Amino acid sequence: MPSAWTHHTVLLHEAVDALQLPADGHCIDATFGRGGHSRLILSKLSPLGRLTAFDKDPQAVAEAERLSAEDARFAIRHQGFAQLAELPPLSADGLLMDLGVSSPQIDDAARGFSFRHDGPLDMRMDTTRGQSVAQWLEDASVPHMTEVIRDYGEERFAGAIAKAIDRRRQERGPLGRTAELAEVVAGAVKTREPGKDPATRTFQAFRIFINAELEELQQALEASLKVLKPGARLVVISFHSLEDRIVKQFIAAHSREVYDRRAPFAPAQPMKLRALGRTMPSAAEVAGNPRARSAVMRVAERTEVPA
């Protein structure tokens, strides 16, 4: 039952403290999830403060709408955070992105995110639109599947897995269940990482691909430069190397002055961000919530915007 699905917000106090919000400011929670960060942010804001949240998941939006009915300072948008660019320029005093999948999404077999719970092979964050993984796998070519599994799952057996999926389709028809996919992958992966299910990387890859997660992250990071006020903080929590690499490179690219080699005497374009380091979950947090073990939080501050 849904009441049994619990979600432990990762780096809860560390993330909200890192935002350094003014009490009457406007904050953006780009991934509402189950509202852990949002509720703590609201507790820090004065009656004049505001919090705008985004989420694609209809279940998360329903939870957020209940919070919105209780607190007039809070508003939810049923959108992915790539739509941050729709907000007014220089309108945010802080921006938090908590990436990845929430525990209720993983533990709800009907969502199709987990290889441990048999359910429909869906994996869409927004179940009201788009193509499910099962629908995509009906026609996906072996080269395309290989590319997705390799690039988004960093899986060295990507080609073997893609061929195994294709054989399964030809012999028994399309895959429609998570258990079916996990079984096919287990048969194709020759060696297993200690403590990790052989299907882990393939499920990650298909989820990232079907939700265009990395492309949306890049769009949201670019939009952050538009909406953050000078001095406002960008806080991003990622859960795997692909996400963290994008965040790290984005912050690094905008934390230095840029010179135009074609115009060597022209003034440099000023840096747009100031990198403020990274934070990992404590040993105590990981012990209480093993899903936090891979989390990395990076923080940057928006620099002055030229007139």
Helix (H) / strand (E) element for 26: namely strand 26-29
The C-alpha atoms of residue 91 and residue 111 are separated, in whole angstroms, by 35
Q: What is the pLDDT of residue 61?
A: 96
164-177 in b/e burial notation, b at 16+ Cβ within 10 A?
bbbebbeeeeebbe
- % of the chain at pLDDT higher than 70: 93
CATH number for the domain whose boundaries are 2-104+213-302: 3.40.50.150
Average pLDDT over the chain, rounded to an integer: 91
Work out the pLDDT band at 1, boundaries 50, 70, 90.
Answer: very low
Mean pLDDT within 13-26: 97
DSSP label at residue 10: T
Report whether pLDDT(306) > 90: no
Structure-derived torsion over alpha carbons of residues 174, 179, 185, 189, reported in degrees to the nearest 10: -160
- Please give the CATH architecture assigned to the domain spanning 127-210: Orthogonal Bundle (1.10)
Mean pLDDT within 227-246: 96
Work out the pLDDT band at 252, boundaries 50, 70, 90.
Answer: very high
Mean pLDDT within 248-270: 76
Work out the pLDDT band at 2, boundaries 50, 70, 90.
Answer: very low
The C-alpha atoms of residue 117 and residue 106 are separated, in whole angstroms, by 9
Domain boundaries, given as residue ranges, for the chain:
2-104+213-302, 127-210
Q: Do 2-104+213-302 and 127-210 fold alike per CATH?
A: no
Report whether pLDDT(197) > 50: yes
Report whether pLDDT(260) > 80: no
State pTM to two decimals.
Answer: 0.90
